[in-house]
Amino acid sequence: MLVNKPAFFVSDLHFGLQTKEKEKELERKFVSFLEYTLKNAGKLYILGDLFDYWFEYRRVIQKGYFRTFTALQNLTEAGIEVHYLIGNHDFMHRDFFEDEIGLRLHQKSFETKIGEKRFFLGHGDGLIANDYGYLILKKILRNKFLQWFYSLIHPDFGIWIASLSSKTSRNYTEDKDYGEKDSLFEFAKKKIDSGFDYVIFGHTHVRKFREYKSCGYINLGTWLSEPCYGKYFENKFEIIDW
């Protein structure tokens, strides 16, 4: 990380979900954030669902968002680490983001150390204790053979199917009653008990910052309703509106 620079965190932009006009506005906001990041941060962590759906063919990527790609590449070329943890909507990646843009792609939750603090970073999918239907679906969708078979479909048709599947998954998540207990917070408490200082997720689209044993559980919400980013600098974490 660049000396004396904070780490930034974002999640759940869901590019591809809204109308063309709203997409342009969302991308404008995010690109302006990335330009701010270029001048003010040492690391950027994207914690899943940057896209509402993503299926990357061997020689084809989805149309649009070149301004976002360019802004991300500007960060990596400036020496800023950009980590992209895939979510439950944008998981079908190959090598475009790593080889062409220079991001560090993570397939699952991971831990890192910033200064003297330990961070556990995840999207949050698959960690809700009673979400058995999604856990089964995740195993099917992440199966490498099934993804290879799906890649034989023409991109126009394949991406259209991915879009419909994503909408179905989102409706399932929004309509499901998980009970009164916040399972992600319960999961975070176990991680903090094991020695982590901060546990950060997205996925639920509900912004939260809860203290536990002088440590923190953070959920970054979604840019669809409240654009924001997490900032960690000099032993302080805060969620800032954008």
Task: Please give the pLDDT value at position 132.
Answer: 47
Q: What is the distance of C-alpha 78 from the center of its chain?
A: 22
What are the structure tokens assigned to 60, written together? Answer: 């084809």
Class at the top of the CATH hierarchy for domain 7-241: alpha beta
Q: Tell me the domain boundaries of the chain.
A: 7-241
Q: How far apart are CA 124 and CA 22, in angstroms?
A: 26
Task: Please give the pLDDT value at position 178.
Answer: 45
Q: How far apart are CA 64 and CA 68, in angstroms?
A: 9
Each residue's pLDDT, cut to its tens digit, for the chain (242 residues) gives 445 899 999 999 999 888 999 999 999 999 999 999 999 999 999 999 999 888 777 777 777 899 999 999 999 999 999 999 998 877 677 789 999 999 999 989 999 999 999 999 999 987 765 554 555 555 555 566 555 555 556 666 656 555 656 555 555 555 444 444 568 999 999 999 999 999 999 988 999 999 999 999 999 999 999 999 999 999 999 999 99
What is the maximum alpha-carbon separation in the chain?
Answer: 52
Instruction: Please give the C-alpha separations between residue 19 and each of 16, 22, 189, in angstroms, as whole numbers.
Output: 8, 5, 38
Instruction: Please give the C-alpha separations between residue 199 and each of 4, 161, 193, 196, 233, in angstroms, as whole numbers.
Output: 22, 34, 11, 7, 16
Task: Please give the pLDDT value at position 151.
Answer: 59
| Upper half-sphere CA count for residue 84 (Cβ side, 13 Å) | 24
Name the strand (E) or helix (H) holding 211.
strand 208-212
Provide the 3-class DSSP secondary structure of residue 200: strand
Beta bridge partners of 119: 112, 198
Task: Please give the pLDDT value at position 18.
Answer: 87
Task: Please give the pLDDT value at position 38.
Answer: 98
Task: Please give the pLDDT value at position 66.
Answer: 92
Global pTM reads: 0.82
